[in-house]
Structure 1
Amino acid sequence: MSWSPPTKGNKVSSLPQAAQTLLKTARKHNISFAPIKISKDMKKKLPVWNHIGTPTNAYHKIKTKCLNKTHKLTNIKDLIKIHKRLTHINNEDQHYPQKDCPCPACQKDHRIGCKDPHKCAQTANEILFKITPKFNTKTKPKKDGLTLTQRRLEKNHQAHKNRQGEILFDPTTTICSNLADSFRIFVDPEHISPTPAHRLRVPARGLNLLQDHITIFTNGSCINNRKENSQSGGSIWLRENHPKNLAFRIPGNKHSNQIANVGNEIPPGIYCPYYDSRQLVQCTTHPP
């Protein structure tokens, strides 16, 4: 978390000298909470309020008042617990989307003074949904091959514990043990990415692009099919207003539905790593 703590004034002067020095040093070197990747358990320990991974409009003062004052939530784990009842609508602990829901979780919240537990659960869900991918517990990490096998991790642990044997360097960039390990100095807050880091894949052979797959949709048609004045064309569509959306006419004097559908022999939804807008499309049937 980037911050600008005061270093002068009545509030600071009341602190011990060691704390004052710590604050001044932290501000001087721009200490920030800037992990490259962070484990799911560590994400759950992050504070609910003023969460670094949420936009400024994530918190509504009136809607979040009950979560703060009545439920007294402190970290993301507490927020997930409140939200979880929304997934029990069809379970044995059935939750009903209404103010007076009789499910055990809502009844417990009623007893502590919450007037509308379902509304609080919805507010919790809204906050969780807005958390950026790096800090969102729903984000699944990509398998980049940087983490050691469980067997090697255990060997490292035993070697460290017994102070004997070799310890293999662990190249993983994920913070798993302590939130304090995520603080960095000399960090430019403007260049902290909200996306978790991962190792890029090796470029595909024969292409200067990474092996990312794009789902595209193609279609073709022919006007006056099987007649002398027939004219065929095709189209490529990725998503709304995408710069590589393309519509084109088939050149030459041979036209039919079959010619128009070159590249469309595979059903729409094919996986295509790349296409050249000067051609039809270079397709592959191998999904990622």
Structure 2
Amino acid sequence: SPVVREKARVSPFLQSWAPLQRKLPRSLKRLYKTAAKFNLKFDALALSKDVKEELPIWFHNGASSDLRRHNNTRNADCLRENHGVIKVGDVTNLINRNYICHSRRRNCACTPCKDDRSQGCNAPYKCQEEAIKILDCLNEKWDPRKEIAPTNPDLLPDERDKNVQALAEKEVLTFDPKVIMNGPSVDGYRIFCEDTSDTPAHQMVALDDEGEPSDETIFVGNSHKVNQDGEHISSGGIWYGQGDERNRTVRVPMDLASKESGKTAAVLYAIQNSPREASLHFKLD
């Protein structure tokens, strides 16, 4: 495996390196094995520019194999040691500076190059060009220069507040169609992951027969009881309307039965069996 400089190490879950488990404390070794067992990964559907820039640039999990040629070069060492480049945002800040009267010379008189030389960099223009090459290694989903414009609008702040109140009062909830993660980056971790995709998720709007955005209001019921043998039995129901063939009772496996699991199973079933682009409104019993 390639050498990973100390300053390049941020997190094995965000980068393409793994720690030597025999050198880890017992508690960290157990934690790391558990994460591997349940396939923990950073796997957000799509990321905002701010989140992309918070991720480590070296050994980036979302980069092409070309990044391997840049992780440990002389310029890479200079970028880490003299320019303080650790995150993706550090790279974008470096290349977006105001390079007025810049030239590809070691003694370039532009202000950014003067500043870099004062920090110990012998050839600022080479580090700037290396930074661009490194950023170009990032795949579309992870590149902060490529913004995602979702078709479905996210919920407005007042709509989110109404959802909190509606949940407490058992009223209609407005489904949040947002796929872009705005932060913090810790929200991007998932378990039971398969291979992550480097293509950002794209939202589409489902249209009804009249060409209008499709909305669904779904009523959700819950049932839970303990039989004479002491076994917990749970189920949930979804109801779209009188005589609707989509109305359904969803039974919960006995080992997962609880007071609220029927409702959870019913909502999950409704989501899985509705058009992916539809706006869903759940009314809880």
Give TM-score scaled by structure 2 length.
0.58
1:157 Cα deviation after fit = 4.4
Give 2:76's aligned residue. 64
Distance 1:101 1:181 in 2: 43
Q: How does 1:42-191 map to 2 (within 5 A)?
A: 42-58=51-67, 59-60=69-70, 61-85=73-97, 88-89=98-99, 93-148=100-155, 152-157=156-161, 168-189=174-195
Report if the CA contact (8 A) 1:133-1:195 is conserved.
yes
1:139 Cα deviation after fit = 1.1
Give the count of matched residue pairs: 190
Where structure 2 has 5 or more consecutive residues not aligned to the other structure, the ranges are: 1-13, 210-285
Change in CA separation of 1:84 and 1:4 when aligned onto 2, cut-off 3 Å: closer
Change in CA separation of 1:110 and 1:20 when aligned onto 2, cut-off 3 Å: same
Distance 2:38 2:89 in 1: 31
1:117-175, CA deviations, whole angstroms, 9 ceiling, x for partnerless residues? 11111111111122111011111213311422xxx3244248759x9887643220111
1:5-53, CA deviations, whole angstroms, 9 ceiling, x for partnerless residues? 56852x12xx253x33311210111111111001110001010111112
Task: Calculate the aligned-residue CA RMSD, in Å.
Answer: 3.1
1:199 Cα deviation after fit = 2.2
1:98 Cα deviation after fit = 2.5
Distance 1:6 1:113 in 2: 31
More helix by share: 2
Give the letter aligned to residue 140 of structure 2: P
1:64-114, CA deviations, whole angstroms, 9 ceiling, x for partnerless residues? 2211222231111111111113xx45xxx4433322221221111110110
Report if the CA contact (8 A) 2:152-2:204 is conserved.
no
Change in CA separation of 1:139 and 1:8 when aligned onto 2, cut-off 3 Å: closer
Distance 2:59 2:90 in 1: 15
For the residue of structure 2 that corresponds to 1:64, the secondary structure is helix
Distance 2:152 2:204 in 1: 10
Q: Percent identity?
A: 28
Change in CA separation of 1:95 and 1:43 when aligned onto 2, cut-off 3 Å: same
Where structure 1 has 5 or more consecutive residues not aligned to the other structure, the ranges are: 206-288
Report if the CA contact (8 A) 1:2-1:32 is conserved.
no
Distance 1:142 1:56 in 2: 27
Give 2:227's aligned residue. none
Distance 2:120 2:17 in 1: 37
Give 2:34's aligned residue. 25
Change in CA separation of 1:95 and 1:156 when aligned onto 2, cut-off 3 Å: same
Distance 2:163 2:38 in 1: 36
Give 1:36's aligned residue. 45
Distance 2:197 2:51 in 1: 18
Give TM-score scaled by structure 1 length.
0.58
User: Which protein shows a greater Rg?
Assistant: 1
Report if the CA contact (8 A) 1:5-1:23 is conserved.
no
For the residue of structure 2 that corresponds to 1:82, the secondary structure is helix
Report if the CA contact (8 A) 1:147-1:172 is conserved.
yes
Q: How does 1:245-264 map to 2 (within 5 A)?
A: none
1:176 Cα deviation after fit = 0.9
